[in-house]
Structure 1
Amino acid sequence: MRIIKGAGEWAQPVAGTANDWVEHLRRPDLSVGTYCIPAGGADTQSPHTEDEIYVVTAGRARIVTPDGEAEVGPGAVIFVPAGEEHRFVDVAEDLALLVVFGPAYGSRGLRA
């Protein structure tokens, strides 16, 4: 057992960066991290080679994919399959996301 301290907690991105990503746990079959985007900020990620689950722990935004879009806030759980374009937009409040990748982030090929 391991308690993952700080997972899903808001962290201000480093000056000069659009957002903040911290990987807290990495195993061959999954990884867990926190992704933060400040209010009014830009989501600069590209599609990933792994499936992912987002759990919104703080903030409000919209997620946009080729299949549609949805407003998200604390408690929302979002599944994004590997390779699907997705982006958080209209970040109205500092957004903190607990992210679970399966298998581990970047393990299926080049990191996107």
Structure 2
Amino acid sequence: MEIIEGAGAWTRPGDDATDWNEQLRRPDLSVGTYCIPAGGKDTQSPHTEDEIYVVTAGRATITTPDRSAEVGPGAVIFVPAGEEHRFTDITEDLALLVVFGPAYGSRG
């Protein structure tokens, strides 16, 4: 067993508009925290891995080519590998617990 300290906790990004911090990495999954400040821009590209987001703080809209939805604390979002997606209209500092399967970037 392992306790993943800080996973999903808001931390103010540095000079970049967003901040990704991977807290656990195994071949079949990785866990990290993605933070975007209120009014910030989400510049991510589609990933080669399936992904689950859990909103731990903040409010925003998640947009894919087929759908948009407002999300806030407690929302759980599944994004399949390769699907374009982006958080927009970030009205409150957004903190996301992110789980990738397999591990982020492993399908390069």
TM class, shorter-length: over 0.9
Distance in 1 between residues matched to 2:74 and 2:38, nearest whole Å: 18
Point out 4+ residue stretches in structure 1 off by more than 4 angstroms.
Answer: none
1:7 maps to what in 2? 7
2:63 maps to what in 1? 64
| Residue segments in structure 2 that go unaligned for 5+ positions in a row | none
1:26 maps to what in 2? 25
2:44 is the alignment partner of 1:45: yes
Q: Alpha-carbon deviation of 1:67? A: 1.1
1:103 maps to what in 2? 102
Q: Percent identity?
A: 82
For 1:28, the aligned partner's letter is P
Q: Alpha-carbon deviation of 1:27? A: 0.2
Distance in 1 between residues matched to 2:68 and 2:100, nearest whole Å: 21
Q: What TM-score comes out, normalization by structure 1 length?
A: 0.96
Deviations 1:21-64, CA, capped at 9 Å, x for gaps: 10000000000000000000000100000000000000000000
Distance in 2 between residues matched to 1:77 and 1:105, nearest whole Å: 18
Aligned alpha-carbon RMSD (Å): 0.4
Distance in 2 between residues matched to 1:47 and 1:18, nearest whole Å: 18
2:82 is the alignment partner of 1:83: yes
For 2:9, the aligned partner's letter is E
Distance in 2 between residues matched to 1:22 and 1:68, nearest whole Å: 27
Distance in 2 between residues matched to 1:97 and 1:73, nearest whole Å: 10
| Residue segments in structure 1 that go unaligned for 5+ positions in a row | none
1:74 maps to what in 2? 73
